[in-house]
């Protein structure tokens, strides 16, 4: 184990690659093509031109077919020999440039009297690019990261947790259900299974697993490759067993995802929907899969850093293997926001997301937990009128007390103080065991230690308090009328409502209870939206298929509640004016294959559409007939209907899968749970369904001297995500 943080760099030389075979560019993170309008254009294919990493970038130059090769220079150096024409797409010339210096370079392509120029900015393979300064402290785990053959990566090569690149080969024997290490990569075993991919290639079931480091995380990719008959991977000649489709492997949830490199990749394991790096069904079909430990929320609960890791890892894959026809991400729970958040904030990263056990983002879990924790504290410590369990449930919105307490205890993600004794099941300062006690925060014993919260792990985004160094917090409950719906429906009395709102209080920076309401930092709240830490939906999610199926859920407890699914849909509706690119299935069909097939058919159809219209228009018009809202009453019966949040008496699916809400929704807030700080208005007696006495009305005004939440107005500082936004060092789309 190594604790480190500082960046490093390396250089290579320009590389002249062989001919690029037919490779339809559809899903890579490409820059806008640029030229002078007279017949020459340039674009980067493996990543955005502002976000090149490791000194390598795949570049495409387009000229008129049949007029010969363009002349290409980088910073005045001739690199024409690196470019070769794609014989199946005349006029397209592609080359892999390597050895780019750190910082700015200029690529110039000339053909006759025509020319085009684009700037390129290169960053170290260790990052950062857009996530701000490296996290400190940071725990290297290369020496405990287990490879498929049982070996580990060994000690890190430098203070940036760099891992030596390793290639491991596995194979599937006839009649076996698991991959085993290939004894000799120069000779195939006699019992190796054969497989025919979706692209029609019949190849031995031999899998190449590449492991290395990207962005201080541990990167891996897996794809069918026969090393005895094929050359090593190249971006110019796709492997026979690759169907030209790429899947990002996701992880699970946040608690403990602080300041570590990660000792394992993530996966979605649910029945036969296992999206591990070595998913046999997907590999058998010819898919390639990739992952990065920092794109796994249990290692890293900072969505900006996670999206950077995914972006750089995809770049690495493309520069090794070539362009995919499309890239999708699939994940459950933490993998749902590991899919949705990067998709929204990084343009072109994913061409579709298949999500289940859905949360919009980890912030939504933490904020709703913070509301619930205040309520549980009030009822255990103050509560002069003795709320019954039925009344408490009505105030919280959840199905029952167990569900409420499980949700409230998620406030532990915001609590840096170790060993806080609160209610049953509460866990503050949840650390991964690899983090040494000596560097962990304690308010008195180690006040300068690392703080294990969703806020502090993203201090680059939220900003820091100059007095304490702690991350600024977006939690705000000024004007929130807890229990409003319960009072209006007559479940609690006016006096109970007033007592509750008078005594509920807020938190300080250490998550200690305070008597006054919490005021979120305005800059932190705006940056939460702009960064995508609070998923908005106006970025990449506006123009890709978003396929949401139930996965894990239990509205009786466990905090995987259905309202989170609807919250994400409501955010997309608010951001885009419609949700035609979002499909929701409730219930889990067995086998999983129909879900996967409906999703990938949708993605494949729209990325192949060369017709007119925006990407969003193509997504909507290519949605297949089976990709429609509905629920599964059993493994074989699909009930087609628009999915809504509700219970018995509303729809057939709501009778099968009734759903509940959360405290701020009962307080009048939107189902989208997307308002960090509400606008305020003076209360009006006409706004309530119950009568207040004059004394009660005066008391209400005293409790809310600045007004109550006006949920019809836009939230304070509520803005859209800045697509491809940067917190440094990249100056492109810089967010202040």
- Tens digit of each residue's pLDDT (9 = 90 or more) over 58-103: 999 999 888 788 999 999 999 999 998 888 889 999 999 999 999 9
> pLDDT (tens digit, 9 = 90+) per residue, 184-209?
999 999 999 999 999 999 999 999 99
Residue 452: how many other CB atoms lie within 10 Å? 28
Q: How far is CA 345 from CA 555, 709, 724, in A?
A: 30, 29, 6
Q: What is the pTM of this model?
A: 0.94
Instruction: Quickly count: other Cβ atoms within 10 Å of residue 65's Cβ.
Output: 10
Give CATH 2.60.40.10 domain extents, the chain: 2-123
The sign of the dihedral angle between the CA atoms of 25, 30, 35, 40 is: negative
Copy the structure tokens of residue 148.
């498929």
pLDDT surpassing 90 at residue 514? yes
Q: What is the pLDDT of residue 274?
A: 64
pLDDT of residue 722: 98
The CATH class that applies to domain 2-123 reads: mainly beta
Q: What percent of the chain has pLDDT over 90?
A: 85
H-only helix segments in 278-353: 280-284, 303-321, 334-345
Between strands 630-634 and 582-586, the pairing is parallel
pLDDT given at position 275: 67
Residue 585: phi and psi, rounded to 5, are: -115, 130
Which residues make Cβ contacts (< 8 Å) with residue 206, sequence separation at least 6?
169, 170, 171, 182, 188, 192, 224, 225, 226, 227
- 340 has a pLDDT exceeding 50: yes
Tell me the per-residue pLDDT of 651-701, one tens digit each, with 9 for 90 and over: 999 999 999 999 999 999 999 999 999 999 999 999 999 999 999 999 999
Higher pLDDT, 40 or 590: 40
Question: What does the angle CA 295 – CA 243 – CA 345 come to, to the nearest 5 degrees?
Answer: 30
Please give the structure tokens belonging to residue 657: 């899968």
Average pLDDT over residues 549-564: 93
pLDDT tens-place string over residues 473-491? 999 999 999 999 999 999 9
pLDDT band of residue 543 (cuts 50, 70, 90) is: very high
Q: Tell me the two tokens of residue 367.
A: 């904020």
Sign (positive/negative) of CA torsion 368, 370, 372, 374? negative
Q: Which residue has the tokens 């390639």?
A: 288
pLDDT for 522: 97
The DSSP call for residue 114 is E
Q: Give me 461's structure tokens.
A: 């985004």
Check whether 270 has a pLDDT greater than 60: no
How much is the mean pLDDT over the chain? 92
Task: Give the model's confidence band at 38: pLDDT under 50 very low, under 70 low, under 90 confident, else very high.
Answer: low
Residue with tokens 């017949």: 39
Q: Tens digit of pLDDT for each residue in 375-410? A: 999 999 988 889 999 999 999 999 999 999 999 999
Confidence (pLDDT) at 27: 40
Can you tell me the distance from the alpha carbon of 65 to that of 242, in angstroms, rounded to the nearest whole number?
29
- With tokens 């991350």, the residue in question is 471
pLDDT tens per residue across span 117-149: 999 999 999 999 999 999 999 999 999 999 988
What is the C-alpha separation between 181 and 168, in angstroms, rounded? 8
For residue 97, the model assigns a pLDDT of 97
Q: Quote the tokens at residue 87.
A: 């014989």
* pLDDT for 267 beyond 60: no
112 phi and psi angles, rounded to 5 deg = 60, -130
């Amino acid at each position: 184990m190594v604790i480190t943080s500082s960046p490093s760099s390396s250089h290579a030389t320009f590389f002249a690659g062989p001919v690029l075979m037919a490779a339809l560019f559809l899903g890579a993170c490409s820059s806008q093509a640029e030229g002078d309008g007279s017949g020459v254009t340039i674009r980067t294919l493996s990543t955005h031109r502002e976000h090149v990493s490791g000194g390598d970038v795949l570049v495409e130059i387009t000229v008129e077919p049949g007029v010969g090769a363009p002349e290409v220079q980088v910073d005045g150096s001739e690199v024409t020999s690196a470019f070769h024409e794609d014989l199946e797409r005349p006029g397209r010339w592609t080359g892999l440039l390597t050895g780019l210096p750190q910082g700015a370079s200029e690529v110039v392509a000339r053909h006759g009297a025509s020319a085009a120029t684009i700037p390129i900015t290169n960053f170290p393979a260790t990052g950062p690019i857009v996530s701000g300064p490296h996290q400190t402290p940071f725990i290297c785990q290369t020496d405990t990261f287990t490879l498929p053959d049982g070996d580990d990566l060994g000690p890190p090569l430098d203070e940036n947790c760099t891992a030596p690149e390793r290639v491991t080969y596995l194979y599937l024997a006839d009649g076996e259900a698991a991959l085993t290490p290939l004894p000799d990569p120069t000779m195939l075993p006699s019992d190796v299974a054969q497989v025919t991919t979706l692209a029609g290639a019949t190849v031995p079931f031999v899998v190449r697993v590449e492991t290395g480091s990207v962005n201080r995380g541990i990167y891996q990719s897996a794809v069918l490759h026969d090393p005895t008959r094929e050359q090593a991977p190249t971006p110019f000649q796709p492997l026979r067993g690759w169907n030209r489709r790429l899947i990002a492997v996701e992880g699970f949830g946040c608690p403990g995802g602080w300041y570590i490199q990660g000792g394992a990749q993530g996966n979605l394991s649910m029945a036969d929907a296992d999206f591990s790096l070595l998913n046999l069904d997907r590999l058998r079909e010819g898919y390639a899969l990739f992952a990065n430990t920092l794109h796994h929320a249990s290692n890293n609960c900072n969505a900006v850093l996670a999206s950077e890791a995914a972006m750089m890892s995809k770049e690495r894959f493309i520069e090794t293997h070539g362009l995919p026809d499309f890239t999708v991400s699939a994940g459950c729970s933490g993998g749902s926001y590991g899919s949705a958040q990067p998709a929204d904030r990084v343009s072109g990263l994913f061409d579709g997301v298949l999500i289940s056990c859905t949360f919009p983002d980890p912030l939504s879990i933490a904020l709703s937990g913070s509301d619930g924790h205040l309520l549980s504290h009030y009822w255990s410590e103050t509560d002069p009128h003795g709320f019954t369990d039925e009344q408490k449930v009505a105030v919280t919105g959840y199905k029952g007390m167990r569900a409420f307490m499980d949700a409230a205890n998620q406030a532990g993600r915001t609590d840096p103080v170790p060993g806080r004794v609160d209610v049953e099941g509460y866990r503050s300062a949840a650390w991964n065991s690899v983090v040494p006690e000596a560097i962990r925060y304690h308010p008195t014993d180690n006040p300068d230690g690392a703080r294990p919260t969703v806020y502090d792990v993203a201090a680059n985004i939220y900003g820091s308090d100059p007095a304490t160094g702690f991350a600024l917090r977006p939690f705000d409950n000024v004007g929130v009328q807890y229990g409003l719906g319960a009072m209006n429906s007559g479940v609690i009395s006016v006096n109970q409502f007033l007592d509750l709102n008078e005594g509920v209080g807020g938190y300080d920076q250490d998550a200690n209870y305070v008597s006054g309401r919490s005021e979120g930092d305005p800059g932190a709240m705006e940056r939460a939206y702009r960064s995508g830490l609070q998923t908005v939906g106006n970025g990449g999610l506006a123009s890709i298929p978003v396929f949401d199926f139930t996965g894990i859920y239990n509205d009786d407890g466990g905090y995987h509640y259905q309202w989170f699914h609807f919250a994400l849909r409501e955010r997309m509706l608010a951001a885009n004016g419609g949700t035609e690119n979002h499909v929701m299935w409730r219930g889990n069909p067995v086998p999983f294959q129909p879900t996967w097939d409906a999703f990938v058919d949708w993605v494949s159809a729209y990325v192949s559409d060369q017709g007119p219209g925006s990407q969003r228009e193509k997504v909507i018009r290519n949605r297949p007939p089976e990709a429609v809202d509905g629920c599964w009453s059993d493994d074989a019966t699909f009930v087609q209907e628009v999915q809504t949040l509700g219970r018995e008496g509303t729809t057939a699916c709501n009778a099968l899968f009734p759903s509940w809400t959360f405290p701020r929704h009962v307080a009048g807030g939107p189902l989208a749970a997307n308002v960090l700080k509400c606008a305020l208005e003076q209360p009006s007696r006409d706004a309530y369904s119950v009568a207040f006495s004059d004394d009660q009305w005066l008391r209400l005004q005293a409790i809310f001297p600045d007004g109550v939440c006006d949920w019809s107005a836009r939230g304070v500082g509520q803005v859209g995500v800045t697509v491809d936004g940067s917190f440094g060092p990249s100056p492109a789309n810089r967010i202040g």
